[in-house]
Chain A
Amino acid sequence: MEKSLHDIENLTRDDLELILATSEQFREISERRVKKVPTLRGKTICLFFIENSTRTRISFELAAKRMSADLINFSASTSSLQKGESLTDTVKTIMAMGVDLFVIRHSAPGSSRRVEQVAGVPVINAGDGPHAHPTQALLDLFTIYRHKKKIEGLKVAIIGDIYHSRVARSNIFSLTRMGAEVVLCGPPTLIPREIEKLGVQVTYSVDEACKMADVIMCLRMQLERQQSGMFPSMREYIQLYRIDEKRVSLAKDDVIIMHPGPMNRGVEIIPEIAYHHRSVIEEQVTNGVATRMALFYLLLGRGNEETAD
């Protein structure tokens, strides 16, 4: 593995398998009575969030705490950072205090690479605009693997706003690299150009996408997309793409339903399905902590054990 995690594109199948195996070990720790290990004692992690995301931030925060790392939280809005200090200056300032790893969330694609260039320490990308969200893809992969015991040959339908989705982009790489068959589904205006070159199928029919699927992954649909003219109305979107019982019934009997959160209940998925026995949405959240612990360990913890005590 490289020293930072910017996207999935640069991970090999071996890397992915290592992350899966390590996630499993940390998942066991999360089930213990005392959920804490000393692996990252004396290490400082900065959660650098230039875009609101309570869920992802607390998942990283809990993962870091369970690894005994020290934490600093830096939150700002993109606009305030633009007006005042530059990203470069802010990162340099934080680096001067001594940070061993950055977790960055930012609305601009490529920001995690910029932070690594400036900081020179490992960086985990916690979502950079529509570009990548590798930890989400890895926790999704881990969740699928725990249920299906394999990835190779599975049919995974990813449904919704592919165009703006970093989750879809990162999942495409992890799933295809592990041998899954990925079907993307959404209105043509929300399918980005030339994406089929990544070895995925594209369909505009949600029934076709769900048919015999092993995994149905719903994406968040945001109202702003309709306002920017990408599709005619939420009403029409719901009619065409919302996941309901009928659509789930087309899938395999043991299908699992996933959603990266936060959900727009009633828009991309009906609540009955979100809390259906086939839904693994809450488990994704649990697994997120384990996967992030695994990544902290792989990027920062290896070799730290002997000096930690």
Chain B
Amino acid sequence: MKKLLIKNARVLSPADGIDEKLDVLICDGRIEKIDKKLSAEESIDMSGKIVCPGFVDMHVHLREPGYEEKETIYTGTKAAMYGGFTAVACMANTSPVADNRATVEFIINQNEKAGFVRLFPIGSVTKGQKGEELAEIADIYAAGAAAISDDGKCIMSAEIMRRALEYNRMFPSPLIVHAEDLVLSRSGQINEGLVSTLLGLKGMPREAEDVIIARDLELMKYVSSRIHFAHLSTRRGVELVREARKQGLPVSAEVTPHHLLLTDTAVKTFDTNTKVNPPLRTLEDIEALCEGLRDGTVEVIASDHAPHTFEDKDCEYIFAPFGISGIETLVPLMLDRIVAKGVISLPEFINKISVNPARILNIPFGHIQPGQEANLTVLDLEVSGTIRVDRFHSKGHNSPFDGWNYKGRAVYSVIAGKLNKLD
């Protein structure tokens, strides 16, 4: 019986109503006891630190199979672990697309070999993510997928979307939507507005996102299905989701750190690391996203980790691929600039990074309870540092946050009972 005792930490588990100085005893990978003054042979003192339910990043791109030069399941999940996560859900836009049992099983097997964090593949909705025919969704779920999504692309046919939502009713998981009218945003590079006008870059209007959110909410209502909206970036998008939730519709939404912290003015340097989809918007949108976080409209913070090679991004802005390598910067940036700044409290942050994504994906995370697998993230809010892309574990160094200072990060994690020191 392998035992690990975490002593003197502030245990903070909003979903279990716990917030006090306690010891956590872990035995054979499971939480055995949470109490005061526990003892065991092997113990670690975590005074001054905060033990949280294991963090879950429900939106990452791990690039394997197919784009191993950008990232592999090994490097991506290692980066996830060092970023403070205990589980991630990876999107299906690999090559081949995760639109079949074999690819989903391959992804799960690769993660078993890597062994850093828990991995929950997301299968595609349509074959080849072409938006034309439904993939074998039941088989994908049976292979171990946690949800379905054509993320990276948008299902442009309302008819296919309706059928996908309808078919997905058989399963407990939501359809995750990348909302972008591909015709309205065609050849767009950045948000459409004053900055796109100044820079002469083709704009992607916010309406490209908003019209799909509005469409999909209507379709979802019609066929009584569930949606999770990935990476909300617009003021109107937040309003639409808020209105739908008020009507009691089973809809959830996420936001990324870059959409909370950067505006399109960051593009004025033509730094290709600011090129991301949905694009960086404006202050007005940021305010709406923060309000959405505060009032619960936006239940999840996720990285949309999208690693690319140096060569991919070392080119003219219009030729660069979209995406930010974000899994190693999410926790420090959010602790410093969203939690410490008072946008949301620390327990609310834990809800959005652990409790809510676990609930949405139906995975056994988000709690610290006896009998549960021991998946914990340990925070130190006092430790300061600077983001350095050259120290990323991810292959993708494409981050606009290089050189940003922060206070507070994840310093340890426990994954299936195994303690990891994160530095």
Q: What is the bound-complex CA distance between A198 and B315, given in angstroms?
A: 29
Chain A binder among B129-137, B199-207, B290-298: B199-207
Contact with A along B196-237 (1 / 0, CB 8 A): 111111010000000000000000000000000000000000
Q: What is the bound-complex CA distance between A14 and B321, given in angstroms?
A: 39
Chain B binder among A24-32, A104-112, A240-248: A104-112
Residues of A within 8 A of B194 (CB): 193-195, 197-198
Contact with B along A112-150 (1 / 0, CB 8 A): 011000000000000011111000000000000000000
Nearest-CB residue, chain B, relative to A132: B200
A-B pairs with lowest CB-CB distance, top 3: A110-B270, A130-B200, A131-B200
Q: Can you list 14 residue pairs at the A/B interface with Cβ under 8 Å? A: A86-B314, A87-B316, A109-B201, A109-B318, A113-B269, A129-B318, A130-B200, A130-B201, A169-B200, A193-B193, A193-B194, A193-B196, A195-B194, A198-B194
Residues of A within 8 A of B106 (CB): none
Residues of B within 8 A of A197 (CB): 194
Say yes or no: is A208 at the interface (Cβ < 8 Å to chain B): no
Residues of A within 8 A of B311 (CB): 86
Number of chain A interface residues as a range? 20 to 34
Q: What is the bound-complex CA distance between A37 and B193, given in angstroms?
A: 46
**What number of B residues sit within 8 Å (CB to CB) of A?**
19
Say yes or no: is A262 at the interface (Cβ < 8 Å to chain B): no
Q: Which of A9, A108, A132, A166 contacts B318 (CB 8 A)?
A: A108
How many CB-defined contacts (below 8 Å) exist between A and B? Answer: 58
Residues 1-47 (chain A) with a chain B CB within 8 angstroms: 9
- Whether B317 pairs with A192 at a CB distance below 8 angstroms is no
- Whether B199 pairs with A109 at a CB distance below 8 angstroms is yes
Residues of A within 8 A of B193 (CB): 193-194
Residues of B within 8 A of A132 (CB): 200
Contact of A192 with B197 at beta-carbon distance under 8 Å, contacts A109-B270, A113-B269 already known = yes
Residues of A within 8 A of B167 (CB): none
* A82, A106, A192 interface centre (most CB from chain B within 10 Å): A192
Given contacts A106-B316, A193-B192, 12 further A-B contacts (CB under 8 A): A86-B311, A108-B318, A109-B318, A113-B269, A128-B200, A130-B201, A131-B199, A131-B201, A169-B197, A194-B194, A195-B194, A198-B194
Contact of A193 with B197 at beta-carbon distance under 8 Å, contacts A106-B316, A114-B270 already known = yes
Q: What is the bound-complex CA distance between A80 and B124, given in angstroms?
A: 35
Q: What is the bound-complex CA distance between A106 and B270, given in angstroms?
A: 14
Say yes or no: is B319 at the interface (Cβ < 8 Å to chain A): yes
Residues 184-203 (chain A) with a chain B CB within 8 angstroms: 192-195, 197-198
Q: What is the bound-complex CA distance between A63 and B197, given in angstroms?
A: 31
Contact with A along B314-347 (1 / 0, CB 8 A): 1111110000000000000000000000000000
Q: Which of B196, B197, B203, B317 contacts A110 (CB 8 A)?
A: B317
A19 to chain B, nearest CB (A): 21
- Whether B269 pairs with A111 at a CB distance below 8 angstroms is no
Q: What is the bound-complex CA distance between A303 and B166, given in angstroms?
A: 74
Residues of A within 8 A of B199 (CB): 109-110, 131
- Whether B317 pairs with A109 at a CB distance below 8 angstroms is yes
Q: What is the bound-complex CA distance between A109 and B314, given in angstroms?
A: 14
- Whether B316 pairs with A111 at a CB distance below 8 angstroms is yes
Q: What is the bound-complex CA distance between A261 and B200, given in angstroms?
A: 19
Contact with B along A154-195 (1 / 0, CB 8 A): 000000000000100100000000000000000000001111
Contact of A108 with B316 at beta-carbon distance under 8 Å, contacts A113-B269, A195-B197 already known = yes
B193 to chain A, nearest CB (A): 5
B80 to chain A, nearest CB (A): 31
Q: What is the bound-complex CA distance between A113 and B271, given in angstroms?
A: 10
Say yes or no: is A88 at the interface (Cβ < 8 Å to chain B): yes
Residues of B within 8 A of A113 (CB): 269-270
Q: What is the bound-complex CA distance between A195 and B315, given in angstroms?
A: 28
- Whether A166 pairs with B200 at a CB distance below 8 angstroms is yes
Residues of B within 8 A of A193 (CB): 192-194, 196-197, 203
Q: What is the bound-complex CA distance between A130 and B197, given in angstroms?
A: 9
Nearest-CB residue, chain A, relative to B186: A228
Residues of B within 8 A of A131 (CB): 199-201
Q: What is the bound-complex CA distance between A140 and B325, given in angstroms?
A: 44
Nearest-CB residue, chain B, relative to A112: B270
Q: What is the bound-complex CA distance between A129 and B199, given in angstroms?
A: 9
- Whether A82 pairs with B196 at a CB distance below 8 angstroms is no
Residues of B within 8 A of A86 (CB): 311, 314-315
Residues of A within 8 A of B203 (CB): 193
A135 to chain B, nearest CB (A): 16
A9 to chain B, nearest CB (A): 7
Residues of B within 8 A of A106 (CB): 316
* A108, A109, A169, A197 interface centre (most CB from chain B within 10 Å): A109
Residues of B within 8 A of A166 (CB): 200
Q: What is the bound-complex CA distance between A77 and B269, given in angstroms?
A: 24
- Whether B197 pairs with A129 at a CB distance below 8 angstroms is no
Residues of B within 8 A of A195 (CB): 194, 197
Contact with A along B224-254 (1 / 0, CB 8 A): 0000000000000000000000000000000
Contact with A along B103-117 (1 / 0, CB 8 A): 000000000000000
- Whether A114 pairs with B316 at a CB distance below 8 angstroms is yes
Q: What is the bound-complex CA distance between A195 and B311, given in angstroms?
A: 34
B321 to chain A, nearest CB (A): 14
Contact with A along B159-173 (1 / 0, CB 8 A): 000000000000000
Q: What is the bound-complex CA distance between A197 and B199, given in angstroms?
A: 14
Q: What is the bound-complex CA distance between A111 and B315, given in angstroms?
A: 9
B373 to chain A, nearest CB (A): 47
Contact with B along A45-89 (1 / 0, CB 8 A): 000000000000000000000000000000000000010001110
Q: What is the bound-complex CA distance between A108 and B272, given in angstroms?
A: 12
Q: What is the bound-complex CA distance between A243 and B314, given in angstroms?
A: 43
Nearest-CB residue, chain A, relative to B189: A109
Q: Which of A9, A87, A194 contacts B315 (CB 8 A)?
A: A87
Q: What is the bound-complex CA distance between A198 and B316, given in angstroms?
A: 26
Residues of A within 8 A of B314 (CB): 86, 88
Q: What is the bound-complex CA distance between A197 and B196, given in angstroms?
A: 13
Contact with A along B250-280 (1 / 0, CB 8 A): 0000000000000000000110000000000
B224 to chain A, nearest CB (A): 38
* B192, B199, B316 interface centre (most CB from chain A within 10 Å): B316
Q: What is the bound-complex CA distance between A268 and B317, given in angstroms?
A: 31
- Whether B198 pairs with A110 at a CB distance below 8 angstroms is no
A82 to chain B, nearest CB (A): 7
